[in-house]
C-alpha cells in the first residue's frame, strides 16, 4: 500500500489519477467498448458532423447574400392600420352593392311610385291643366320621373310664372306652382291682354277691376318703355298705385300717369323712382290737376 508522500514544504500530495492508478487509459476504454455502444457513438458523431456541415453551408450562403446585398428579411406582419383600412374598404364595397341593388329595385319596380299627385298653388289655373302639362302617369316609379323636365312643362302654361316638382316618398309627387298676377292691361283687336310685372302677356281675358291700362307701342318683357312703365308702377306707394287708371310711356324718358279722377302725374324718367314716389304721395294731398315730380328736388302742383 502506497503512503502519501510529503513534498519539500511538508504538504501531503495525492496519489496519481484513478485511471493511471488502475493502469487503464481512455484508449483502453474505446478498445473494450461493445458493438452497440460503438454504433451509437458513431451515429452521434455522424449527426454532429452533418450538423456542422449544414451550419458551415448556411454561413457560406449568408455571407454570399450579404456580399450581393440581397439579405432576405423576415416578412413583417401587416400593420394594424392596413388591416383596419381593408375592413373599411370591404364594408364600403358591401354598402355600395346594397345601395345599387336597392336603387335598382326602386327604379324598376312600383314599390315607390307616384300613386298620388299633389298640386299646390292653383287658382285660375286648374288641376287638370297642370296634370295635362306634367304628363306623369300614375304608378310611375318616382325615381324614373325627371322632376326638372316636369317642372319645365308645367311652367310652360301661359298663366304659370314658376313651377317646382318634388318627390314625396313613398308614393306621392308634389307640384307647386306660382301663378302670374296681372299688373297692367292693354287692348288688342282680339280683346284685352293681361301683362304681369315682368311684361309677360299671359292671358287674354277681361281685366280685374281697377287694373291700370298701359300705353306703349310694343308691350313685352324686352321692350324698354314697357319695362320702364312697370318699374314706375312697382315703385308707387299702395295708396297711390290704387288710383292709377292709365300709364303712358312713349319713351323711357317721358312717363306719365293718369289717375282715376282725371288728375295727371308727370313722372319723366325712371331715375330716383323711390324719391319721386315719396314726393308724389305727399303732393296728392294738395288740390291740383297736374303733379310734376320729374325733378324730385322741385316737385310742383298746378
The number of helices, as runs of H, and strands, as runs of E, in the chain is: 9, 12
- Calpha distance 110→112 (Å, rounded): 5
Provide the terminal-to-terminal Cα distance of the chain, rounded to the nearest Å: 170
- What's the average model confidence in pLDDT over 163-177? 94
**Which pLDDT tens digit goes with each residue over 190-248?**
999 999 999 999 999 999 999 999 999 999 999 999 999 999 999 999 999 999 999 99
**Which pLDDT tens digit goes with each residue over 11-43?**
344 444 444 444 455 445 555 567 888 888 888
Grid cell in block for residue 58: 448556411
Grid cell in block for residue 284: 296728392
Contact predicate 150/136, CB 8 Å = yes
Instruction: Give CATH for domain 113-179.
Output: 3.10.20.310
Confidence of residue 75 (pLDDT cuts 50, 70, 90): low
Question: How many other C-beta atoms lie within 10 A of the C-beta of residue 86?
Answer: 11
The DSSP line for 107-135 is: HHSGGGB--EEEEES-SSS-HHHHHHHH-
Percent of the chain whose pLDDT exceeds 90: 60
SS3 content of the chain, % helix, strand, coil (to 5): 40, 20, 40
- Calpha distance 173→178 (Å, rounded): 17
- Calpha distance 227→198 (Å, rounded): 7
- What's the average model confidence in pLDDT over 33-55? 84
Correct CATH for 182-301 of 1.10.287, 2.60.40, 3.40.50, 1.10.3470: 3.40.50
Mean pLDDT, the chain, rounded, equals: 85
At residue 13, the pLDDT reads: 42
Domain regions of the chain by residue span: 113-179, 182-301
Contact predicate 91/149, CB 8 Å = no
- Alpha-carbon Rg for the chain in angstroms: 55
Contact predicate 211/246, CB 8 Å = no
The DSSP line for 29-97 is: HHHT--HHHHHHHHHHHHHHHHHHHHHHHHHHHHHHHHHHT-PPPPPPPPPHHHHHHHHHHHHHHHHHH
- What's the average model confidence in pLDDT over 281-292? 96
Q: Is the pLDDT of residue 124 over 60?
A: yes
Amino acid at each position: 500500500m502506497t503512503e502519501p508522500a510529503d513534498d519539500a514544504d511538508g504538504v501531503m500530495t495525492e496519489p496519481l489519477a484513478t485511471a493511471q492508478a488502475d493502469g487503464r487509459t481512455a484508449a483502453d476504454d474505446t478498445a473494450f467498448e461493445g458493438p452497440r455502444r460503438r454504433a451509437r457513438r458513431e451515429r452521434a458523431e455522424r449527426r454532429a458532423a452533418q450538423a456542422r456541415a449544414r451550419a458551415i453551408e448556411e454561413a457560406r450562403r449568408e455571407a454570399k447574400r450579404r456580399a450581393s446585398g440581397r439579405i432576405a428579411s423576415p416578412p413583417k406582419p401587416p400593420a394594424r392600420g392596413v388591416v383596419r383600412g381593408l375592413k373599411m374598404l370591404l364594408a364600403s364595397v358591401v354598402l355600395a352593392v346594397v345601395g345599387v341593388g336597392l336603387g335598382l329595385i326602386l327604379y324598376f319596380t312600383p314599390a315607390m311610385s307616384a300613386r298620388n299627385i299633389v298640386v299646390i298653388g292653383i287658382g285660375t289655373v286648374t288641376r287638370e291643366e297642370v296634370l295635362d302639362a306634367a304628363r306623369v302617369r300614375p304608378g310611375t316609379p318616382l325615381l324614373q320621373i325627371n322632376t326638372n323636365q316636369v317642372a319645365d312643362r308645367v311652367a310652360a302654361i301661359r298663366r304659370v310664372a314658376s313651377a317646382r316638382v318634388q318627390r314625396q316618398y313613398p308614393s306621392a309627387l308634389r307640384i307647386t306652382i306660382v301663378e302670374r298676377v296681372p299688373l297692367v292691361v292693354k287692348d288688342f283687336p282680339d280683346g284685352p291682354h293681361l301683362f304681369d310685372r315682368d311684361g309677360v302677356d299671359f292671358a287674354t281675358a277681361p281685366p280685374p277691376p281697377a287694373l291700370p291700362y298701359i300705353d306703349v307701342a310694343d308691350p313685352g318683357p324686352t321692350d324698354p318703355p314697357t319695362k320702364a312703365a312697370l318699374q314706375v308702377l312697382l315703385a308707387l306707394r299702395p295708396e297711390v298705385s290704387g288710383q292709377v287708371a292709365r300709364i303712358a310711356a312713349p319713351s323711357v324718358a317721358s312717363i306719365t300717369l293718369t289717375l282715376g279722377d282725371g288728375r295727371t302725374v308727370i313722372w319723366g324718367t325712371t331715375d330716383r323712382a323711390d324719391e319721386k314716389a315719396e314726393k308724389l304721395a305727399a303732393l296728392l294731398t294738395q288740390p291740383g290737376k297736374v303733379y310734376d315730380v320729374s325733378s324730385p328736388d322741385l316737385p310742383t302742383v298746378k
